[in-house]
Amino acid sequence: MASSLMDGIARLGRRGLDIIASLGRAGVFLWGALVGAPRPSVGGPLLIQQIYRIGVLSLAIVIVSGLFIGMVLALQGYTILSDFGSESAIGQMIALTLLRELGPVVTALLFAGRAGSALTAEIGLMKATEQLSSMEMMGVDPLRRVMAPRLWAGFISMPVLALIFSVVGVWGGMLVGVEWLGVFEGSYWGNMQASVTFADDVLNGLVKSLVFGVACTWIAVYQGYDCVPTSAGISAATTRTVVFSSLMVLGLDFVLTAVMFGSF
């Protein structure tokens, strides 16, 4: 009985050490990838290619989701606000919700599922087929050649995607609130303009999405790089990417919100 308890504690300790070692490896990995990027003539085209694959190809899912979330917000908001006779505040509500919360968070969750899983699978397969090894043996550092452009592309794409999400959401909210439910268009835009500030709302939202972008891309690329190079290993790594990214985004969101808006 006592020995099984000790075994349990030992296992817990080993798991803790594994996690810390893995965090350390991930940190060294990030450092190695971001320091000393390839020269601009080589790195530029690689970066643009990755921004296209990670960012531009995620546009469709981000725009469609943003549109529907904006429309749902308008419907729900109208039902509640009209009870108090303040349905004219609907523009303000939609814009603040999107810019501060839903834009960065939902975009990051979509990003983890759309781009993050693809990154992990791609890099994992490159590892399994020895492409990363052969690059190393050719004297080309895969951290700089393969990982760095993907990381930077993720960091750059996420804030832009989140911004597009919010803009489309605000427009979707207007479609439902103004065109369908009949809120006065002047008050929709006017209240929004009066209440949304650049520094508090737009900038904080962008900072959030940048943080989420770093977290999601780092997790995705590292999971691919660190995976066991078999089909089961790649599948497990892809799952971990989506699960870890989603949890990380929601956890970080709480922390960031508390720091940014928590001064009661």
Partner 1 sequence: MSYCSAKFPVVAGMADSSYILLDDVVFTRGNRRIFDGVSLSVPRGRVTAIMGPSGTGKTTLLRLIGGQLRPDSGRVRVNGHDVPSLRRKDLYRLREGMGMLFQSGALFTDLNVFENVAFPLRVHTRLPDDMIRDIVLMKLEAVGLRGARDLMPAELSGGMTRRVALARSIALDPDLILYDEPFAGQDPIAMGVLVKLIRELNATMGLTSVLVSHDVPESLSIADHACIVSDGRVIGEGTPDELRKHTSPKVRQFLNGDPDGPVPFHYPAPDAQADWGGTLGGGSRRG
Binding site for partner 1 (CB under 8 A): 42, 129-131, 133-134, 136-141, 145
Work out how close the CB of 68 gets to partner 1 at its nearest, in angstroms, rounded to a whole number: 34
Q: Which residue has the tokens 């490159």?
A: 126
C-beta closer to partner 1: residue 99 or 132: 132
Work out how close the CB of 133 gets to partner 1 at its nearest, in angstroms, rounded to a whole number: 7
C-beta closer to partner 1: residue 140 or 175: 140
Helix (H, G, I), strand (E, B) or coil at 132: helix
C-beta closer to partner 1: residue 138 or 199: 138
Tokens of 39: 């020269």
Work out how close the CB of 59 gets to partner 1 at its nearest, in angstroms, rounded to a whole number: 22
C-beta closer to partner 1: residue 32 or 190: 32
Angle, to 10 degrees, between the axis of helix 2-34 and the axis of helix 204-226? Answer: 110
Work out how close the CB of 143 gets to partner 1 at its nearest, in angstroms, rounded to a whole number: 10
Work out how close the CB of 129 gets to partner 1 at its nearest, in angstroms, rounded to a whole number: 6
Q: How far is CA 240 from CA 127, 202, 210, in A?
A: 17, 31, 21
C-beta closer to partner 1: residue 46 or 216: 46
How many other CB atoms are there within 10 angstroms of residue 34's CB atom? 16
C-beta closer to partner 1: residue 130 or 179: 130
List, as own/partner pairs, every contact residues 250-256 make where C-beta atoms lie below 8 angstroms and the sequence separation is at least 24, other chains included.
250/105, 252/211, 252/212, 252/215, 253/101, 253/104, 253/105, 253/208, 253/212, 256/207, 256/208, 256/211
Q: Where are the alpha helices (DSSP H) in the chain?
A: 2-34, 40-54, 59-83, 90-97, 103-111, 117-128, 131-137, 142, 148-174, 185-195, 204-226, 231-261
Q: Are 151 and 221 in contact (CB under 8 A)?
A: yes
Work out how close the CB of 125 gets to partner 1 at its nearest, in angstroms, rounded to a whole number: 8
